Amino acid sequence: MSLKNISWVYSLRKIVLFALIFLIYDTSFLFSKEKLISLTFHDGPNPNSTPQLLKILDDANIKATFFVVGKMVKKYPELLKEIHARGHEIANHTYNHRNLTMLSTSDIMSELLRTKILIKEIVGLNTHLFTPPGGRFDSRVIETARICGFRMALWSVFPEDHRNPSPVIYEKVITNARDGSVVLLHNGPQDTLIALPKILEKLKARAYKFDTLSSLLSKGKGKHIVYPRN
Ligand SMILES: [Zn+2]
């Protein structure tokens, strides 16, 4: 092969290489996934905050996941219906909000199943996710929940909104939120209600979209916070 031909082949290889790089680079946006976050609200329903919370979520056109406590559901069934009617996901946060690691296996079952049955009676839903009160769990809790038909879900962002003022709640969520984050907030504190609209506005400005926890998991995100892992 002459020198001229060799340089032509090299030039062609360069062109093909650049074309490939350009193609990969230029089309990558087609495969980029949307940035998703799931907001979870623990401990409701609560007449002092659920109506305001639902309005904030409605105004922002966002669906969230409510981990409800059975004894609160028993007291405020209408609020549970309202949460359901607005299209939010309902999940199980036990009946009495006790530390499950301190209970017998049959008492853990009772905590989960009483709430499950109550939710089913009131809104006709089967729940499949639960979160342990105080984040306290061990392998027995996970296994007992599994036998009862539940997967245990934790969270990846927790601004400790049960004890922090609204500016701190805002800062902690905004700083730590990533694609696939599961944010733990409470359906109760007034500071959460104050911080929430600003949190939603900021995250929307950063092109985040919001989804229920089940939907987020079904899209392959946030899986590291669910047990047992499979
Ligand atoms: Zn709780």
Residue 21 has pLDDT above 60, yes or no: no
Whether 171 and 50 have beta carbons less than 8 Å apart is answered as no
Going from the Cα of 201 to the center of ligand 1, the distance in angstroms, rounded, reads 26
Percentage of the chain lying above the pLDDT 70 cut: 85
Distance CA 99, CA 111 (A): 10
The answer to whether residue 229 sits within a structural domain is: no
Q: Give residue 27's pLDDT.
A: 47
Going from the Cα of 174 to the center of ligand 1, the distance in angstroms, rounded, reads 22
Rounded mean pLDDT, 73-87: 98
Give yes or no: residues 17 and 73 share one domain.
no
Q: Give residue 229's pLDDT.
A: 83
* pTM, full prediction: 0.86
Give yes or no: residues 1 and 74 share one domain.
no
Give yes or no: residues 51 and 22 share one domain.
no
Give yes or no: residues 9 and 39 share one domain.
no
Helix, strand, or coil here: 88?
coil
Q: Give residue 17's pLDDT.
A: 54
Give yes or no: residues 21 and 62 share one domain.
no
Pull the structure tokens for residue 141. Answer: 């809790």
Going from the Cα of 135 to the center of ligand 1, the distance in angstroms, rounded, reads 8
Give yes or no: residues 24 and 124 share one domain.
no
Going from the Cα of 162 to the center of ligand 1, the distance in angstroms, rounded, reads 10
User: What are the pLDDT digits (tens) for 178-204?
Assistant: 999 999 999 999 999 999 999 999 999
Distance CA 227, CA 230 (A): 8
Rounded mean pLDDT, 68-92: 98
CA distances from 17 to 7, 11, 23, 25, 39 (A): 15, 10, 10, 12, 44
Going from the Cα of 121 to the center of ligand 1, the distance in angstroms, rounded, reads 22
Whether 151 and 143 have beta carbons less than 8 Å apart is answered as no
Rounded mean pLDDT, 171-178: 98
Q: Give residue 4's pLDDT.
A: 61
Whichever domain contains 101, its CATH number is 3.20.20.370
Residue 96 has pLDDT above 80, yes or no: yes
Residue 7 has pLDDT above 60, yes or no: yes
Q: Using a CB cutoff of 5 Å, list residues around ligand 1, an ion.
A: 42-43, 133
Going from the Cα of 228 to the center of ligand 1, the distance in angstroms, rounded, reads 20
Going from the Cα of 187 to the center of ligand 1, the distance in angstroms, rounded, reads 9
Number of domains comprising the chain:
2
The answer to whether residue 227 sits within a structural domain is: no
Whether 123 and 76 have beta carbons less than 8 Å apart is answered as no
Distance CA 113, CA 150 (A): 10
Going from the Cα of 93 to the center of ligand 1, the distance in angstroms, rounded, reads 7
Give yes or no: residues 117 and 196 share one domain.
yes
Distance CA 162, CA 187 (A): 9
Q: Alpha-carbon dihedral of residues 83, 110, 216, 204, nearest 10 degrees?
A: 40
The answer to whether residue 226 sits within a structural domain is: no
Sign of the Cα torsion 201, 176, 155, 220 reads positive
Going from the Cα of 203 to the center of ligand 1, the distance in angstroms, rounded, reads 25
Rounded mean pLDDT, 92-105: 98
Q: Give residue 128's pLDDT.
A: 97
Rounded mean pLDDT, 33-48: 95
* Residue showing tokens 């659920």: 50
Rounded mean pLDDT, 123-146: 98
Give yes or no: residues 17 and 102 share one domain.
no
The answer to whether residue 198 sits within a structural domain is: yes
If phi > 0 it is left, if psi is from -120 to 50 it is alpha, else beta; for residue 156 that is: alpha
Going from the Cα of 128 to the center of ligand 1, the distance in angstroms, rounded, reads 17
Q: What is the average pLDDT score of the chain? A: 91
Going from the Cα of 62 to the center of ligand 1, the distance in angstroms, rounded, reads 22
Rounded mean pLDDT, 78-84: 98
Distance CA 17, CA 109 (A): 61
Domain of residue 39: give its range: 34-221
Give yes or no: residues 181 and 83 share one domain.
yes
The answer to whether residue 228 sits within a structural domain is: no
Going from the Cα of 69 to the center of ligand 1, the distance in angstroms, rounded, reads 8
Residue 94 has pLDDT above 80, yes or no: yes
Going from the Cα of 95 to the center of ligand 1, the distance in angstroms, rounded, reads 11
Give yes or no: residues 17 and 86 share one domain.
no
Give yes or no: residues 22 and 120 share one domain.
no
The answer to whether residue 230 sits within a structural domain is: no
Give yes or no: residues 4 and 97 share one domain.
no
User: What are the pLDDT digits (tens) for 102-131?
Assistant: 999 999 999 999 999 999 999 999 999 999
Pull the structure tokens for residue 172. Answer: 């902690």
Q: Using 50, 70 and 90 to split pLDDT, how confident is the model at 1? A: low
Residue 31 has pLDDT above 70, yes or no: no
Going from the Cα of 29 to the center of ligand 1, the distance in angstroms, rounded, reads 40
